[in-house]
Amino acid sequence: MINIRKKLEEAKNNPHIRKDCDGNIKRASVRDRLLVKEVQEMEQTLPKGCRVHFDDPNQLHKFTLSVSPEDGYWGNGRFKFEITVPEDYNIVPPDVQCLTRIWHPNITEDGEVCLSLLRQNSLDTLGWCPTRKLKDVIWGLNSLFSDLLNFDDPLNVEAAEHYERDKDSFISKVKDYVSRYARR
């Protein structure tokens, strides 16, 4: 005979089961089950100068990443990114928004980010695919300040043209933005 009280107690203690706003028991989504594993892996493999912060540790689908490059044009700055993982993750990529104003060819002043692995519909093999993980996104964002910096395929065309026109003036503006908006 099934003991309903026992089943309800088991459901309360099962990490794969959650309650909705009415208190009804629901199964954890595929996204949430993936995130439990991926967040642990991500935190263990963070690049130097990167930190992750969860406002609510029970909601792994929304967090802030701080990237603090040690050198390069954006050295000594701290740049914050909000990363939101949609319900249909890992079929679609996370949404990434730069919260820190920055002068960068691959990040607009409004915070839009151009990173090839975040492209959902990509003709090459560099876009998003379900085998990618959050750690790939973190490493990609960190690399926008070094080896993935791309002046040839900019999102912020004005910044890229500024670099091509007058590199010293570009560097000066980057340093000005770092001191005004991204101080550590």
**Beta bridge mates, 183:** 77
Q: Which of 2-6, 50-54, 80-84, 167-171 has the lowest mean pLDDT?
A: 2-6
Burial 144-160 (b: 16+ CB within 10 A, else e): bbeebeeeeebbbeebb
Helix (H) or strand (E) segment spanning residue 166: none
Q: What is the pLDDT of residues 104-162, one digit of tens each?
A: 999 999 999 999 999 987 666 789 999 999 999 999 999 999 999 999 999 999 999 99
Helix (H) or strand (E) segment spanning residue 51: strand 50-53
Q: What pLDDT is attached to residue 47?
A: 97
Coil/strand/helix, residue 131: coil
Q: What pLDDT is attached to residue 11?
A: 47
Q: What pLDDT is attached to residue 12?
A: 54
Q: What pLDDT is attached to residue 14?
A: 58
Q: What pLDDT is attached to residue 4?
A: 38
177 vs 184: CA distance, rounded Å: 13
Q: Give the Å distances, CA to CA, from 41 to 117, 122, 170, 184.
A: 19, 26, 37, 26
Q: What pLDDT is attached to residue 184?
A: 87
Q: Give the Å distances, CA to CA, from 118 to 12, 38, 76, 125, 146.
A: 36, 17, 26, 12, 18
Q: What pLDDT is attached to residue 1?
A: 37
**Beta bridge mates, 107:** 104, 113
Domains and CATH numbers, the chain: 46-181 (3.10.110.10)
Choice among 21, 50, 98, 114 that is catalytic = 114
Q: What is the pLDDT of residues 5-51, one digit of tens each?
A: 444 455 456 554 455 555 554 567 889 999 999 999 999 999 999 99
Q: What pLDDT is attached to residue 26?
A: 55
Kindly report the backbone phi and psi dihedral angles of residue 41, in degrees, each rounded to the nearest multiple of 5, phi listed first. Answer: -65, -40
**Catalytic site residue 98?**
no
Show the tokens assigned to 50.
């990167």
Q: What stretches of the chain show up as alpha helix (H) in DSSP?
A: 4-13, 30-44, 134-143, 157-165, 167-181
